[in-house]
Structure 1
Amino acid sequence: TNVEGDFLDLVRLELNPKNPDEYGTPDGWQAFTHRTETIAIKGGPDQMVEIRETRWGPVAEEPLLGGPVALRWTALDPEAVDLGLVWMDQARSVWDALAVATRAGAPPSNVLLADAEGHIAWTYMGRIPVRRGLDGSVSVSWADGRTGWTGFIPPDDLPRVIDPPAGYLVSANHRMTDDTYPHVIGHAFANGYRAYRISERLRAMERVREPDLLALQLDTTTELHEFYRDLIRRLLTPEVLAQHPELAEAREAVEAWDGRAEKDSRGVALLTAFRRSLAASVFAPFLQGCREQDPAFAYDGDLDTPLRTLLTEQAPGTLPDPARFADWHAFLLHELERTVATLKADYGLSRVDALAWGVMNRVRMAHPLSDTIPLVGRWLNMAEEAAPGCGQCVRVLSGSLAASERMVVSPSHHSDAIFHMPGGQSGHPLSPHYRDQHRNWSQGLPTPLLAGRAVHNLTFRPEPASARS
């Protein structure tokens, strides 16, 4: 699974005021290296792209805060990609597999391992930089030599867990190391709600079978939204509802919520929209300066930790738009009223407590060509439908984020294995197999991993050598 780590730094370049084709390095001014990339265009002339290189990597096409930056990225390092994983099929224990995984060059990933003796392990795979003088959270100059990268974390120093006391391992794109680990892995990991829920379900299991683990992958419990439900409960007291009777349906919506994000769950759509509205309004004063410096700035970090802290403390100094609102209570009431009105208008509702989650949360799987040729979309795209799950659910589904695969396999029990994939096994729109897997993936119906009895045969006939000359 994805580490959600930070393996790229934007190195701020100091240009020579007397020669803009030189940049500062610990060894003095150094000239940019220039090269030309040729991109062949079918049916048109080749496109030439001029690249400027530094000792740290290519110069980014877009400046950062008005200045040039170089990309120092592990993916551009020749050492970062190799064929080391081919030795994994020689591993006979988790210790053998750890040695292979931690030395292989590949995109950094979480690796979970198990062997025939019942041992389990977790580690990182791929090259992760050792930073000096910086943590990678901001762009700085490396010209004086005090900041930069000092190679990659040695394989034996990569973090690992072997045979934990709990008897299971969980990886859900969340942070896997604590503050005692000496190297920077990342700054914007996924929050821990999915990992916590997976652990909670696994702890409750005794005799685990394949359907149990498929059910775990389809779990739609979303504890993250409980905070926003309780916030609305505290906000909409009987006294407030007496003054704002139109918000009674909002109170009824959150009271009707079942704690899940199923297609027919009521209340979670309001909670989701309220959370988004609060994040935009509460963070606006803090992010205004960033957007003034860079109009394209977007906050892409942990949303709920700072948001929940601000909403819990409700300090007068952090009140958004104090010229308009007397206190946090007035602000929150306004945000809720606006959220309810927006949902009603967007979905044509008379009452917000009638809004089912599946009306808002949809599966939209479009073929790339459908944007270019809209008329062919009806043949190329998968059918749009209501969907269970959410961004913080084990059954992750939010916007373009969804499970690209689900699989449950127990070695030596392949006949009981379960496999899910969206779309189908064929890429040909006229094939009966173009959509043959999508229904079971979307509805969570178990699909055997093994193909079963052969129904079709596909024969490949090599073209004679004489025909190719």
Structure 2
Amino acid sequence: MKQEKFGIGSNQWALEGKFTKDGRSILACDLHLDLMVPNIWYHAGLKYNKNGEEIFVVGATLPGTPLIIVGSNGHVSWGLTNAELDTSDLVLLESDEKIWQREEIIKVKGDKDFLTEIDQSQWGPVIPGTYLNHRFALKWVAHDTQACNLGFIDLESEKDVYSAISTSRHIKGPILNFMFADKSGKVGWTLVGTLPKRIGFNGELPIQSNSIEAKTLGIQNTKLYPAVYNTKEGFLFTANNRTLDTSWESIIGHGTYINPIRAYQIQKSLGTLQTSELEMLRLQFSDEAIFFNRWHTLMLSLIEDKNSSLYNLIQSWDKHASSESRAYPLIREFRQTVLETFLIKILQPVLDQYSDFPLSMFDFEEPIWMIVNSNICDVLSKDMGSCRSKLSDILYKINIKYELAGYPTWGEINQTVIQHPLSSISILLEKFLDMPKNPSSGDFFVPKVLVKNVGASLRMVVKPGAENEGIYQSPTGQASNPISQFYRVGYKEWASGQSFPLTVIVKDSIGQIRLVPGK
């Protein structure tokens, strides 16, 4: 069973000005991606004149694009998370469907071009293999010429939440949860990006190419997207969880949402903290692991000898995915092994037919927990003994494994791995190019997402209009040259939770790059 779908995503929240001392709203955002050198994001501030008005915006850009993807312009701040919505459809082709070959040329440096042919249909590329005895094509909104634009750039001059949400309706690209906070103390949320227009179905199942559903496929009207402004609670949050009920499926389709535990913990904390930039950063670093509380209780109930070293170790757990914890790795692996054991047994007929069935795309936490705590468990465990004895067997095997290893801490297991693509050539290059390997707290199941090479590719906390007090963290420096003094700048703060400024005031120019149009 592959790694569960917990790390791919992000956290964000925004609180109204009534929670802050100066009346400005505050926004926090951390984007979880694969960690690498150089980092995917580039910390930047842009200053330019637009129609006689001076614009200054600071945040994170994607290198190669003139866009601040998450940032703040003195009036409005914005952040994002993956909305986890389905934007593709499988179209089952008829036997007489027209299929042609499209040539793709891949340029190879220092060698001949590589030519490949792709089967193509009016719906999109034809996928190898068959589904229900039909060939099938992938209809994906990203293949549409209207699916992407540079609309983000228009956010840079907006003055409040309402105008920012209105402007966001013109942004095309991946579908995202977008959150805004403004200088006057207001907050808002909406969806941004491109969705397929579906009539009569929600995208969960394939459709026939000659059906009405297929003929009406198109691009969804962004004016129909939901929007939420100031709420009764005074704050908004998303963490790749479901944000809308099923009544919205005719507009947004279905989703493959991530377990809402991070969203729950964020919601539980908001409104109870002193709302400052540092307090928001502390929440981004929270490793409280309430997700495992019931598994912890179950483990204790399985240990008959209450005076044993194993019982004392598990009982001593501090309820956190902390780097110092020796109990957490056992609790984590116990849950994972129980899930795998029962899932493989339940889904064996499926796995026999489809060995690469993507179990990691689904959240099986609640079904497996219900089975473990019901009579069904004993039925499934007939050839493995009683359910309780099977669970005990899993626990004691895990304990032997960790006992032989000297009960390593979670931090010893969960060391950050932030590598340069060339560092695998030599251990000397590894020391020269990679970021340090440090024992780390965090996990996929807590607000601080960090498991080896997956974690916060950036963290930002900002109050619009107070950008000079804002926080920005990146796991690598800005420079891609390892001999540069800026190559590792910011890593220490990212790893330790110290504050690093969002807006850097440069008194003396250190270097300059001049871009001349047309040259």
Do both share a fold (TM > 0.5)?
Answer: yes
State how 1:46-57 maps to structure 2 within 5 Å: 46-57=113-124
Match of 1:189 among 242, 253, 257: 257
Pair 1:83-2:144 in alignment: no
**Match in the other structure for 2:388:** 329
Q: Is the 8 A contact 2:203 2:253 kept in 1?
A: no
Could you tell me which of 427, 434, 458 is aligned with 1:405? 458
Q: 1:133–1:148: 8 Å Cα contact kept in structure 2? A: no
Q: What is the letter of the counterpart of residue 392 of structure 2?
A: L
Pick closer, same or farther for the CA change 1:318–1:204 going to 2, 3 Å: farther
Q: Which amino acid aligns with 1:104?
A: I
Match of 1:10 among 76, 90, 102: 90
Cα distance in 2 for partners of 1:427, 1:140 equals: 47
Maintained 8 Å contact 2:141/2:219: no
1:297 equivalenced with 2:350 (yes/no): no
Q: Partner of 1:203: helix, strand, or coil?
A: coil
1:416–1:448 Cα contact (<8 Å) kept: yes
What SS does structure 1 have at the residue aligned with 2:91?
Answer: strand
Q: In structure 2, how many angstroms separate the alpha carbons of the residues matched to 1:212 and 1:45?
A: 56
8 A Cα contact 1:127 1:153, kept in partner: yes
Structure 2 Cα separation of the partners of residues 344 and 382 of structure 1: 31
| Distance apart, 1:384 and its partner CA | 1.2
Aligned: 1:386 with 2:439: yes
- CA distance change for structure 1 residues 460 and 452 in 2, over 3 Å: closer, same or farther? closer
Q: Does 1:418 align with 2:471?
A: yes
Whether 1:438 aligns to 2:491 is yes
Pairing 1:55-74 to 2, within 5 Å after superposition: 55-61=122-128, 68-74=135-141
Name the amino acid aligned to 1:413.
Answer: A
Instruction: Give SS of 1:164's match.
Output: coil
Q: Rate the CA distance shift 1:75–1:396 in 2: closer, same or farther, 3 A.
A: same
Check conservation: 1:253, 1:270, Cα contact below 8 A.
no
Cα separation, 2, equivalents of 1:436 and 1:318 = 57
Structure 1 residues 114-159: Cα deviation after superposition (integer angstroms, max 9, x where no partner): 2333221111111222334543334454344455763333223212
Match of 2:291 in 1: 224
Are residues 415 and 390 of structure 1, via their aligned partners in 2, closer, same or farther at CA, if it must alter by over 3 Å?
A: same
TM-aligned CA deviation for residue 329 of structure 1: 0.6
Which segment is superposed worse, 422-431 or 408-417? 408-417
CA-to-partner distance for each residue in 1:307-357, whole Å, 9 max, x for gaps?
21212224156524x2231x2111111111122223334xx21xx4xx422
Aligned-partner SS, 1:367: coil
Q: Does the 8 Å contact 2:183/2:463 carry over to 1? A: no
Task: Using the TM superposition, give the Cα deviation of residue 67 of structure 1 relative to its aligned residue in structure 2, in angstroms.
Answer: 6.0
> SS of 1:227's equivalent?
helix
- Taking structure 1 as reference, are residues 132 and 330 closer, same or farther at Cα in structure 2, changes over 3 Å only? farther
Call closer, same or farther: CA 1:312–1:142 in 2, change over 3 Å: farther
Q: Paired residues, what number?
A: 437
Q: Whole-Å Cα distance in 2 between the matches of residues 85 and 357 of structure 1?
A: 40
1:255 paired to 2:315 = yes
Q: Separation in 2 of the partners of 1:445 and 1:157?
A: 41
* Larger Cα-atom Rg: 1
Q: Is the 8 A contact 1:84 1:103 kept in 2?
A: yes
Aligned residue in 1 for 2:398: 339
Give % identity.
26
Q: Deviations over 1:277-310 (max 9, x none)?
A: 0111010022222222222222121131222121
SS in 2 for 1:404: strand
Cα distance in 1, alignment partners of residues 184 and 140 from structure 2 = 39
CA contact (8 A) 1:102 1:123 kept: no
> Could you tell me which residue of structure 2 aligns to residue 116 of structure 1?
183
The answer to whether structure 1 residue 275 and structure 2 residue 335 are counterparts is yes
- In structure 1, the partner of 2:197 is 130
Distance 1:77 1:56 in 2: 10
- Measured after TM superposition, the shift of residue 421 of structure 1 is 0.3
CA RMSD of aligned residues (A): 2.6
User: Whose relative contact order is higher, 1 or 2, with alpha carbons under 8 Å and at least 6 apart?
Assistant: 2
Q: Which amino acid aligns with 1:51?
A: I
Q: Is the deviation greater in 84-93 or in 263-272?
A: 84-93
* TM-score under structure 1 length normalisation: 0.86
> Residue 32 in 1 paired to residue 99 in 2?
yes
TM-aligned CA deviation for residue 233 of structure 1: 2.1
**More displaced stretch, 283-292 vs 104-113:** 283-292
Measured after TM superposition, the shift of residue 455 of structure 1 is 5.6
Distance 1:139 1:373, change over 3 A: farther
The corresponding residue for 1:448 is 501
CA distance in 2, matches of 1:228, 1:274: 8
- In 2 relative to 1, CA 305–462 (structure 1 residues): closer, same or farther, beyond 3 Å? closer
**Contact kept in structure 2, 1:133 and 1:147, CA below 8 Å:** no
Rate the CA distance shift 1:377–1:10 in 2: closer, same or farther, 3 A.
farther
Moved more, 396-405 or 422-431: 396-405
User: Residues 303 and 453 (structure 1 numbering): CA distance in 2 closer, same or farther, change over 3 Å?
Assistant: same
Task: Report the secondary structure of 1:5's partner residue.
Answer: coil
Among candidates 166, 173, 179, match of residue 246 of structure 2: 179
The structure in which a higher percent of residues are helix is 1
In the alignment, structure 2 segments of 5+ residues that lack a partner are 1-80
**Could you say what secondary structure the match of 1:122 adopts?**
strand
Deviations 1:232-270 (A, max 9, x none): 12222xxx328xx8xx33322221111111211232111
